[in-house]
Structure 1
Amino acid sequence: MSTPRDLSTPLGRARMLFAMLSVPKLREGLGARLLGTGGAQSPDVAGPLSRLDWLGADGEVDLPALQEVTDALTLMRSSEAILEVGRLDGIPVKTEESREVSGRIARIVFERVGRERVLTEAELNAAIAMFAADVALVRRDAVDAGVLARTADGTAYRLA
């Protein structure tokens, strides 16, 4: 199996751009820079804009970098994303956040296998392992969060 693609750079570029678009003065500065008229700007605009590694000070755009962002966003919206994105190596430490992530993983598992299915612990573990390294933590958190219900003997699980 191939190594998951590193999507952190292109997705980081997209996240940064959208964060900047939400701030009026950065949006204005970005527009000026894209038009090539973004000369002297205040440091609170020039600083953030300088972090856009795909956009030169003269408005020159690095088209391959933008294509990489487009390709990454297209991939993340496809059914192929799971084949390209690695598993979670760690779950958030805070209980509330951990249960939220674990609940989301459990919901995705049951969306894919069928919401009405009952899975054995081994089947559930195999499905969770596609998403997270700590299968037992995800399974327990999803039960504690009320997303999964388990039989009294702990051998079978269903979506609550």
Structure 2
Amino acid sequence: MTTAPDHPAELGRARQLVAMLSAEKLRRGLGRLLTGDGPAEDPSVRGPLSRLDWLGEDGTADVPALRRIADSLALMRSDRAILEVPRLDGIPMKTEESREVSGRIARIVFERVGSARSLGEAELNAAIAMFAADVALVRRDAVDSGVLERSADGAWYRLAG
């Protein structure tokens, strides 16, 4: 039996590699490993490189794992992502990060339903629930950050500006 791909984990692996490639020491250490010149001698390089779970100590790559990562990246760039990737179980704890994520979700909702529309709370909640588990937090953050406007009685919401 095949298990469903863990797209967030695969994307995390891709992000980890890109972050490592942005640091010259790590990039050189990775190159050394991949070309068969042996592991990096510097422990400050060996430690981070050991976290690449698709890369063996001898520089061999787990090709099926790399294919899964590549497939997840391709999926995330496609219009099928909304059907394949689970909704957010948590929103960042820091207020400004939370508001940024919530604002992006609200904008996506209104891009899809029409930016000039007004939505009732139930309709907005249903649309947000496709993206995040904590619907009330997303809605509140989007209003507090000025992305959404709410009527005085809370009956409807619309995209600000």
User: Shared fold by TM > 0.5?
Assistant: yes
RMSD between superposed Cα atoms in Å:
1.9
From the superposition, tell whether residues 26 and 93 of structure 1 become closer, same or farther in structure 2 (CA, over 3 Å).
Answer: closer
Residue type of the partner of 1:152?
A
From the superposition, tell whether residues 141 and 8 of structure 1 become closer, same or farther in structure 2 (CA, over 3 Å).
Answer: closer
Structure 1 segments unaligned to the other structure (5+ residues): none
Aligned to 2:99: 99
What is the CA–CA distance in structure 2 between the aligned matches of 1:24 and 1:120, rounded to whole Å?
A: 52
Using structure 2 for the length normalisation, give the TM-score: 0.88
Q: Please say if residues 33 and 40 of structure 2, whose CA atoms lie closer than 8 Å, have aligned partners that are also in contact.
A: no
Secondary structure of 2:157's counterpart equals: strand
Shift in Å, 1:39: 4.4
Deviates more, 1:52-61 or 1:109-118: 52-61
Q: Please say if residues 118 and 156 of structure 1, whose CA atoms lie closer than 8 Å, have aligned partners that are also in contact.
A: yes
Shift in Å, 1:76: 0.9
Residue 149 (str. 1) matches residue 140 (str. 2): no
Q: Please say if residues 4 and 84 of structure 1, whose CA atoms lie closer than 8 Å, have aligned partners that are also in contact.
A: no
Secondary structure of 2:149's counterpart equals: strand
What is the CA–CA distance in structure 2 between the aligned matches of 1:154 and 1:109, rounded to whole Å?
A: 18
What is the CA–CA distance in structure 1 between the aligned matches of 2:89 and 2:54, rounded to whole Å?
A: 30
From the superposition, tell whether residues 136 and 22 of structure 1 become closer, same or farther in structure 2 (CA, over 3 Å).
Answer: same
Aligned to 1:130: 130
Cα deviations by residue, 1:68-98 (Å, 9 ceiling, x for unpaired): 1100101111111112222222223333222
Aligned to 1:21: 21
Query: Structure 1: which 4+ aligned runs deviate by more than 4 Å?
Result: none
Aligned to 2:38: 38
Shift in Å, 1:156: 1.4
Deviates more, 1:62-71 or 1:7-16: 7-16
Aligned to 2:6: 6
Shift in Å, 1:128: 0.7
Q: Please say if residues 20 and 26 of structure 1, whose CA atoms lie closer than 8 Å, have aligned partners that are also in contact.
A: yes
Residue type of the partner of 1:33?
L
Shift in Å, 1:55: 1.8
1:31-110 aligned within 5 A? 31-39=31-39, 41-110=41-110
Residue type of the partner of 2:57?
A
Using structure 1 for the length normalisation, give the TM-score: 0.89
What is the CA–CA distance in structure 1 between the aligned matches of 2:137 and 2:51, rounded to whole Å?
A: 38
Secondary structure of 1:126's counterpart equals: helix
Q: Please say if residues 5 and 84 of structure 1, whose CA atoms lie closer than 8 Å, have aligned partners that are also in contact.
A: no
Structure 2 segments unaligned to the other structure (5+ residues): none
